[in-house]
Amino acid sequence: MKKIFLFLLLACSAWSASGQTYADHMQEANRLYQSGEYRASAEAFEKGFALGKTEASDLYNAACSRALAGDAEKALDHLAKAVEKGWINADWAQRDSDLVSLHGQDRWQLIVADMKARQAAEEARYDQELIAQLKEIGEMDQVYRQQMDEAEKTYGWDSPEMKELWEKQRLNDSICLARIELVIAEHGYPGKSLVGRQSSVAFLVIQHADLKVQEKYLPLLQEAAEKGELRKSSLALLIDRVRVGNGQEQLYGSQLHRNPDTGQLEFFPIEDEARVDERRSEMGLEPLEDYARRFGLEYRAPTEKD
C-alpha cells in the first residue's frame, strides 16, 4: 500500500486543482509573456511552481515577467532560485533588457556576484583562453540580433532601422565565422568537455552562416552531438536549416518564415508531420505546439488520419 500511495502522491503533484500540469502552466506563462501580459505571465509561472517542480530556465523567465510587471522583489526571489538551480549566465542576465529595472537593487548586485562566482568555479576546469574567445564571439553573434525584436516592434520588419541592424550583424557574422573556423581547425568542435557552457557558440555561428558552410560542418556537429559535446536540440535546428536551404521538408519543425503576402510567420513544410513530436522528443525538443506559442502561433499537430 505504501508504494501505491507514494505513486498516487507523485502523480497528484504533477497536477493543479484545475487539472493543469506543470507544462501547461509554463506554456500559458510563455504565451502571456509573448502577448505582453507580464503580471499574468508571472502568476502562471508561479501556479506551476506551486506544484512542487521548478526548472532553472522557467525561474529565470518568471523573474523576467515579474521585473517587467514592476514586481522587483518577486523578480529577485525567482532569479535567486534560478541561480540555485544552475542558471549562472551572468553576462546574459546583465544584458537582458527584461531585467534592467532590477539593476539599482542591492540584491541584484549580490545575485549577479553569486552567478559570477558559480560560473567561475564551473569554468575553472576548462580551457580558459578558449572560453574567453568564445564568449566574445558569442556576444558578437547576438549583439544586433538582440536589438532586432524591439526595432521590429517600433519601426517594422522592412524599416530602414531593421535593415541597418541586419547589415551590422552580417558584418559581425562574417568575422565570427572566420574566428570559429580557426578554433575548429585547432581544436575540432569546441564542445562541453573543453569549454563547458560555451559549447553552443560554434553552433550558433555556423547556423547563422550560409548553406554551403552549414553543409560543410553538419557532419562535425553530428559527431559532437553523438559524443555528448553538443545538445541534440542544437543539431536538430541545423539539420532543419540545411534541409530547408536545399528545398526539402524539415524534420523537426524548427524553421519558420514570414509569408510575403500576409506578413505572418508560418512553418516551412514538415516531413511526416504526424510524427514530428516523436522526432522532436528524441532530440530533446518540446512539442511543436508549445514551440509555436513562442511565436504567437496556434498549432495543432495532424494525425495520421488527417
The pLDDT tens digits of the residues spanning 97-125 come to 999 999 999 999 999 999 999 988 887 88
What is d(CA 66, CA 90) in angstroms, rounded to the nearest whole number?
A: 19
Distance from CA of residue 172 to its chain's centroid?
Answer: 21
- Superfamily for domain range 1-124: Tetratricopeptide repeat domain (1.25.40.10)
pLDDT of residue 9: 30
**How far apart are the C-alpha atoms of 300 and 264, rounded to whole Å?**
17
Spatial contact of 65 and 42, defined as CB atoms under 8 Å apart:
yes
pLDDT at 306: 56
Residue 27, pLDDT score: 82
286's grid cell: 518540446
Q: What pLDDT does 58 receive?
A: 93
d(CA 22, CA 47): 8
Q: Distance of alpha carbon 209 from its chain centroid, rounded?
A: 19
Q: What's the pLDDT score for residue 305? A: 61
**pLDDT at position 304, please?**
64
Of 56, 142, 48, 40, which Cα lies nearest the Cα of 91?
A: 142
For residue 17, give Cα distances in angstroms to 14, 20, 37.
Answer: 10, 7, 23
Residues 6+ apart with CB under 8 A from 293: 27, 30, 31, 34, 299
This model's pTM is above 0.85: no
| Cβ atoms of residues 221 and 157 within 8 Å | no
Q: What pLDDT, on a 0 to 100 scale, did the predictor assign at position 81?
A: 97
**Segments making up each domain of the chain, as ranges:** 1-124, 125-230, 241-306
- Residues 86, 56 contacting (CB under 8 angstroms): yes
Residue-wise pLDDT tens digits, 221-231: 999 999 999 99
Q: What angle do helix axes 56-68 and 22-34 make, rounded to 10 degrees?
A: 40
For residue 112, the number of C-alpha atoms closer than 13 Å in the C-beta half-sphere is: 17
The segments of the chain whose pLDDT lies below 50 read 1-17
d(CA 103, CA 237): 34
pLDDT at 280: 92
User: What's the pLDDT at 191?
Assistant: 96
